[in-house]
Amino acid sequence: MAFIQCQFYSEALQIQATMNVILPQPATGPLPTLTLLHGLSDDQSAWSRNTSIERYATARGLAVVMPAVNRSFYADMKSGAACWTFVSEELPRIARSFFPLSAERKHNFVAGLSMGGYGAFKLGLSHPERYAAAVSLSGAMDVQRLVEEEFGGDIRLALGQPDDVAGSGNDLFALAERVVAKRPIPMLYQRCGTEDFLYADNVRFRDRCLDLGLPLNYGEGPGDHNWAYWDARIAEAIEWLPME
């Protein structure tokens, strides 16, 4: 595999942006691609530094694109940058212009942990026409609750007030309800440790998806909000991806 650290200018962010990319070698495309999203306190390097993602991707011939979006909650921030526009629109276009990545839905997947798990399901549910599957590990599934409790101190800079979140494109529960009427619906893969502080939110979102009849593969077990848990789970998730 090749590991590439890539800096480029982002029109959406109006700054020099960064993504790390893992490519099969030789990189003969169009390649199936996993967009892999970081958590609140991380950046584009976190997955490579803390897991064996390169080894897992190599086994399946999978390209991996890991962007940096700071503490944005993958939103066009109320007070800040247009990180949702960046990750949902600009990033795929730029990455495909630089590297031989497939644009076909059946070859595109998204995954993430914590804030990135939220971002992965937000991408999959907002754009079911683009992604065959979405993976959330220890995801921040109920951002309305987190906004109400002012989680992290700066979450309202990203998402605004509770009334701004409820029913909006930042509300996973609302997105799940809307996607039911769309076809095709991406396959969803959700994992959370039973000792995780986000466990109750994950169970609540799981129950709503099951009520709606969404194609959710849910699993839980012992585990906390840490890299030991995520390394094991991302290995399993990559094996699960419905690659053709």
pLDDT of amino acid 29:
80
Residues facing 65 on adjacent strands = 21, 35
Q: What is the pLDDT of residues 10-58, one digit of tens each?
A: 999 999 999 999 999 998 889 999 999 999 999 999 999 999 999 999 9
pLDDT of amino acid 182:
85
Pick out the chain residues at pLDDT < 50.
none
- Does 26 sit behind a cis peptide bond, omega within 30 degrees of 0 on the bond before it? yes
Alpha-carbon distances, residue 6 vs 102, 119, 140 (angstroms): 19, 21, 28
Q: What is the pTM of this model?
A: 0.97
Q: What letters, b where the CB count within 10 A reaches 16 and e where it falls short, cover 113-133?
A: bbbbbbbbbbbbbbbbebbbb
Domains of the chain: 2-238 (3.40.50.1820)
pLDDT of amino acid 111:
98
Answer for the pair 227, 48: CB distance below 8 angstroms, yes or no: no
Residues facing 4 on adjacent strands = 21
Cα–Cα dist 92/103, whole Å: 8
Residue whose token pair is 């969404």 = 214
Answer for the pair 224, 171: CB distance below 8 angstroms, yes or no: no
